Structure 1
């Protein structure tokens, strides 16, 4: 049997359930107002959220900040999942949005405290820290540039090409038709390619 894409080793809990099934069950209970289930859910999903944030923010403390922001979003907005698809797919979207939000905040701080003007950054400058090996232009810089004119393609593109979610998972998570997601991803790739290759 093919392992669940969100659980590569097909891990089963001691009660025989698969990990994604357990997460879904905890999320349903948390959305219904069970505080114990919410606490358990947050403990289970934190490593997954942190992994998503680290994929966008290579500096550890920045990823931790984004993870905490995402955890707060999960705690306060778990009811917006509505049970469509896997909870872990919805979680990817929440974590990605938190990482992008943290990146924007760090970028504003880096501009405000520019070493060239005598300031000192306590962390690597996110404008010059590459997310994808082999590129000089940060992936998120490319996404910000694309988002200015084509905001609808950014989330599907990152979820597909960075985190490897299937088109169907993205469609479920974003509440979009499958064909729309495919079109947005392909359009986003065309827009991103020259940006990511410009300074190679």
Structure 2
């Protein structure tokens, strides 16, 4: 494949041609897989690293400034995926592009994808997936706690199920994204904005003294909450009891990201502990909210791993 052909395919893909991206990826896949196998050996992990790289590249092809560098860009994404897999912490694909190849390297990666011209298209496509595939795809590609083990713990499923659902999510995305490229995508943006505001209101309810029944009106009174470690409680009040105790201990909670899909919302948050008790709470958490008939019926919480104590 000549350099001119690569440049033409990249530019066509950046203008929205999914066929051009598919051809570009197919022509580079053998080299990407070779990179992955050198680092991970044969087996499904190497293939997973390449498939995750495809989703990353597809959603961020518009940010590749030098089309002739597509091969090294794709290989860098795969290499970074493999290295983080070897460290037992899988990557957030929206933030693993190659050095000196992105438009804004000093920015937060999530902020970059929020500004990407393709973001509405990608979010809209994700909402078309089946519920199980959509949830694992959102957790895998757009959250911090995104290893197979962490996703399994958050979803309450075996690791093997997470792997199979991600495989299904990739298959569905390959079919869905070309179809929705020209659709109207404003609904996905509006829903994410609405859910972000809702999250901020709910999680600030305790320090602001807001009434639980008002700020959490969409939470079913008999909702099920799964805490880290598998403990289960029923109702909204136990969640706010924990928030109150943390707040009274000097802990503050900040929303850092919100994802919204069809029947599912994902929050990411950080905890700031008081100076006198720096290990009171873990660094952060991922919250998985599952809805039915407009109400949140189930929530699951996963804490970000604590750093080692000095």
Which bracket does the TM-score occupy, shorter chain normalised? 0.3 to 0.5
Per the normalisation by structure 1, the TM-score is 0.41
Per the normalisation by structure 2, the TM-score is 0.27
Structure (1/2) with the larger strand percentage: 2
Bigger Cα Rg = 2
Structure (1/2) with the larger helix percentage: 1
